[in-house]
Amino acid sequence: MDNPLLSLDPEDAMRRIEDWKARADAAAANALAASERLQALTATASDDNGTVTITVDADGTMTKIELSHRVQKQSAHFTEDAVMEVYRKAQEKLTEAAKEVVADSVGSGSATGRALMAGYERRLERLDEPGER
């Protein structure tokens, strides 16, 4: 296979190499920015009546839970179910926010975007495995 750079004059070859390097540098900067934005994400969700509110960090780990005074008037089982439901809802919101970050920064269809989301989703899946909480 012929090397297209060999058929160019040296100045054109250097320009193409510089253009390629500039695109590679921009792609690397975008990937780094996306990664940093992903690490800074948080998400908060509440149940429909505002009894339980949960915030998760970028790893999907619960960082804050707020229980309204209404929990005193309901069964512990109901509150437990609400906490788990809201926790999952917060993680789903986190995943959606991550998808937006990736789409806005590197493109969700790009190889970089797919790799970033695959890694992100693997981290969240580990939270659902027994013994990982």
Report the pLDDT value the prediction gives residue 127, as an integer from 0 to 100: 67
Strand order in the sheet with 52-56: 43-46, 52-56, 62-67
Residuewise pLDDT in 10s, the chain (133 residues):
566 656 678 888 889 889 999 999 998 898 899 889 999 999 999 999 999 999 999 989 999 999 999 999 999 999 999 999 999 999 999 999 999 999 998 888 988 889 888 888 887 777 665 554 4
Query: Is the full-model pTM beyond 0.95?
Result: no
The DSSP secondary structure of 66-93, one letter per residue, reads EE-GGGGGS-HHHHHHHHHHHHHHHHHH
Task: Quote the tokens at residue 87.
Answer: 């926790």
> How does DSSP classify residue 42?
-
Q: Mind listing the domains of the chain with CATH numbers? A: 10-127 (3.30.1310.10)
